[in-house]
Structures are given as C-alpha cells and as structure tokens.
Chain A
Amino acid sequence: MGSSGLLTSLIDGILIGVVYGLAAMGLTLIWGVMNVINLSHGTIIAFGMFGVYLIFTTLGLNPYLTLVLVAILGLLLGVAIYFIAIQRVIDAPHLSTLLATFAVNMILLGVGTAVFTTNFRNVDYALGNIQMGQITVLGTRLVAALAAVFVAGALYFFLYKTRPGKYIRAVANNRAAAELMGIPSTQILALSFGIGTMLAAIAGGLIATLFPFTILSGGVYELKSFVIGVLGGLGNPIGSLAGGLILGLLESIIPIVMPNTWVPILEFVLFIIILLIRPTGIFGAKE
C-alpha cells in the first residue's frame, strides 16, 4: 500500500471515528448525569437508522433533513423511557438500572424485529467523491463527520452556555445539592436521558447513510460506544469525540499490519486495560 493509500485510510478512520464518537456521546452523557449504563443504547441507534430509512424511502426527503425529525422523536422516546422504566429505580443498585434498560432494549428490539424483520436495508443516497490530490473521500462520509462535529459543538454550547445545560451539569455533579438550589432534578434527569437517546438516534441516522444495516446492527455500535466511553472517560460527552477518533484511527491502521479480524481483540483488550488502570478514562476527571 502506498502512502496515498495509507493517507486515505487514515482520513477514512478519522471521519468514521467522529461518527462513532457521536454514537458514544449519548451513552456517556447518561452515565455521567445519572450513573446509568443504558443497555438500550444500541437498539435506539438502530431505531435512528430505521427512522432515516423510512422517511427517506417513503417521503423522499433529504436524509440529512430527516435527521431533525429523528432527533425530535429520539428526544421524546428517551423522556418516555425515563419516566416509565428508569425513574423508579434510579437510586437502586446498579443491577436494577442495568436490567431495567435491558428490559427496555428487549421491548424495543422485539417491536423492531416484528415490524422491520432482520433483513438488510440501506439508504440509497450518494454525494459523489471528493478528490484532493491522490486522496479520495466519499462525500457521505465527509458530511456525516461534519454533522457529527456540529452536533457535538451544539451539545457543548447547550451544556456550558444555557441554563438547562448548566442544570444538567449541576445534577451530574451533585444531585442532592442541586435539588437544594431549587433545580427540578426529575425533569433534568428526564431531559438528560432524552438528550442521550436523541444523540444515539442522530448517530444511527448518520451511520445509515454510510453502511447497510439491520435492526440488530445497533449492538455493534453499542459495544463500540462502551469502548469509546471508557477511552474518553465515562461521563465526559465531549471526551467521546476524542475516544471515537482513537477508535476510528485504530480500525483504519490495524488492518494494515495484521488481519482485519484482530481489530476487535485489540479494541476490547484496550478497553479492559483502561478500565483496570484508569476507570475514569484517559480524558476523564480524577475521582
């Protein structure tokens, strides 16, 4: 492989990595605010994929426009999940919230499989190639990465510059103290969960424009999100972007030196090592 081939796969890795980062952002936001590992994350990503797919194929809207609609639906779904399944067990031991979100996952996946079956779908939409010297970049990948960066920026602005965002950070920091300051913690927790699922749905929608998918595809991205979340620091949504970049680069570089099938081994070994050495993640805060 020549240097241009290496550069092409590096750039591909970066572009995909940013989208991975967006997928993990929702998981890590929910973890950071309420210490809940959302095991329905993968299926919500898959719902995002199917949301874009359905609107694109039936209404013929531009897939990037449909993302707005998918985002709103994702937010509403998340708020509903919070009030139905999470609120009652939010202070219970970890096993309860893990199983509650897993139960939600089963419900959603059951409905999804019954409606969509497990056949492969793809969003048939192309933006051509972008040629820079000897390097070729797929248009959809570039746009997906830009959209992911834009959403991450918007999240940053929301969390740090707006009042509800500051409430979310206050609740994440210390829920009891935030309540004493008059912050309505239940609504803020519901909003955080909603934003978390919204981010997952948007990421799913973007991934749908890149690769073919089934209703079960979310599981792969959920596992990737765990790895990224740990890389970037669980509870640090912006760190996810950096974690995603690392993962994307690893996935593009490792196949050059060893067989492709070794990628998941290295990913998960890295995941275990980081959890053992520094459970708050490379970019995470000190405990």
Chain B
Amino acid sequence: MALLRPARLRPSDLLRLGGYGLRSRPLRAVLSALGIAIGIAAMVAVVGISSSSQADLDRKLAALGTNMLRVSPGHTMMGDDATLPDDALSMIKRVGPVIAATATGSVTDTSVYRSDRIPEQETGGLSVLAAQLDLLDTVGATMADGTWLNAATAEYPAVVLGSGAARRLGDVPTVYIDGRWYSVIGVLDSVPLAPELDTAVLIGWDAARSYLGFDGHFTTVYTRAVESQIEAVKAVLGRTANPQSPEEVDVSRPSDVLIAKRTANASFTALLLGLGGVALLVGGIGVANTMVISVLERRSEIGLRRSLGATRGQIRTQFVSEALLLSLLGGAGGVLGGFAVTAVYAGTQDWPAVVPPWAIAGGLGATLAIGAVAGLYPAIRAARLAPTEALAAA
C-alpha cells in the first residue's frame, strides 16, 4: 500500500496563493497596506533626515577641521570680567603644535548704524570687532562678497560685515559708527566654527585704535593646532595665555559644540522613531483585522481547499503568506515614501540625502515580523476550521 504523504507547496505556488487573496479585494489590500506604509515611511524618513543632517555636519567638519581652539577671558575670582594679557597671542604662537593663532578684540561702547538718520537707541545688537589680517584663514571663513581687509585697508575707516550683520544692515555701501562713515568692503559667509563673527562688524586693528579708541586687548584668540595634539594643547592654553591666573581663561573647541548639537538631535530622533513605531503598530493591527475578516469571508474557500487535499499546515501557510505579502507591500511602499521624504527635505536644506542601509533592512524586517504576527492568529483560526463546517458556510 502506497504511503500517504501530502505534497509540498512550491514557494512560487505559495506566493500565488497569497497574492490571489489580495487581488480579489484590491482596495482593501491597498488600504490596509497603507497603514504599514505610513509607519515605515515615518521611521525611514526620521532616520534618513537625521542621517542626512549628520552627513552634512560631517562634510562641514571635514571642510572646517576640528583642530581649532578658542581662547577667551573668563571671570576673575571676584566675578568681574577678566582680560587676557597683551602677550597672550605671542605666547600661544610659541606652543609647539600650534599651527596658527589670531585674535579679535572687542571695541566696546560702539554701535553700528546704516546711516546717520537712525535714532541712537536702535543699535541693532551688532558688535564691532578689531580683527587681525590672518583671521580669515585661521577660522576657515570665506567671503560672500567683496574683499577681506589688507595691510592698507586695515588702517583706514573700512569694515567687513559678518553674514548676520549684513542681513540686518542691508545692502549698504557705508555704515555709520560713532559719528564717522566707514566703507563696507566685503561681506563674510556664515562661519560655523566662530558664530560670533556672524553678528560682528570687523575693522582693522590699527583703524580701531585710531578711530574708535580701541584699547588693544584681545578678547578672543583663535588657534589651530596639530590634530593629534589638540587635547594636550587645549590643556596648556590657559596657562600659556595667562601664566599668573590660568583659571581666568576659557578654552573651548568650537567643533565640540556642533557635535553636541548633533547628540541633542539624536534624542529627538529617538522620540520621532518611537512615534513611527506607534504608527507601525497601528498598521499591524490593521493587517490583522483585514486577515480576520478575510478568513471569515473565505470559509467556503477554506473548506473547498481542504476537500481538495490541503492540510491544515497548508491553509495556515496560505494565510500567513497573504499577511506577509500584504505587509511587505506596505513596507516596500513605506521605504520608497521615506526615501522620497528624505530626498525632498535634504534637498530643501542643501544636505546630501542619506538613508542608511540598516534603516531599509530594519524597516522591511519590521514589516515581515509584523506581517507574521498579524497573520498568525487568523491563519491558525482558518486552519482549525473543520472542513465540513467550512463547506456548510457557503
């Protein structure tokens, strides 16, 4: 007597079986896949946008360099504003791994106006900084317009505007500072490593002394050092700048601030990712709901298939593969949608669009897991149906 063994369903047949149920009710399939798609799209877009912003920051940092240190006077023990000694810059330049150092000095009690008709109280919050000629190279700034100060213009009433200052003052050929007109000879691009320059009006060191009564004190020293020695340099800069009271010197690494901002963004990303997860869960429940209804409606089909020789396992597999296919459909749509959102958003921010492969793999993996979980219970119910009962349902 021949052994009775049920034939295995081929993967291609399983795929066809799963697809058949979806094709018979296309609108319902699309709507329940949409729930999954929205969840996956949200998650992929959140990861994609945060990765794109990171890629942008990495690109910027690579261009700017992370080897800059900023030295500024802090506070005395009594709480007053401290000052840097006059030889601070030359001392810093003598430290071995220091490649370049330059300084700016704050010109106090001055305000910048676009013309002499502006009331004195409307100062606009801009600062006037005396700058040395090598400032541009050291902080990695570039000119948006015009030229930087040179040995000649640094002695005359000429200024270069920071990007924010230029926005506030408008496109003016001259500015009015303390009863005198100054020519605007250039405008800087925004300086990510030294954002304080964005709201500054920069003037030559000698010009500041002769026209604005500048006292010649350094208020900020920008230093570039050999990358590998940067921590060691950072440790000695305070003592180098002010040997008498090193605790009155603030030393910071501006690129750290940018990286810290990125870390703050990461926790925000985690929150958004959680929201995407909730959307995905709701989508999964939608798929489960669709599958439960599908099983109820197709009892007679189940009965027929059992009479044709389908085992319980084959009925179960049919409905699980239908659920998997349904959620995979949503997942694939979601990944594409998330990609599109990332590309559009990155485009508006002038970032490189980056969606990490792990986000795509994770998105599709999550979809498959949800499809399996959502499909399993309805599939088990379908398989448990007694054939006679299922056939009687028609």
Physical interaction between A and B = no
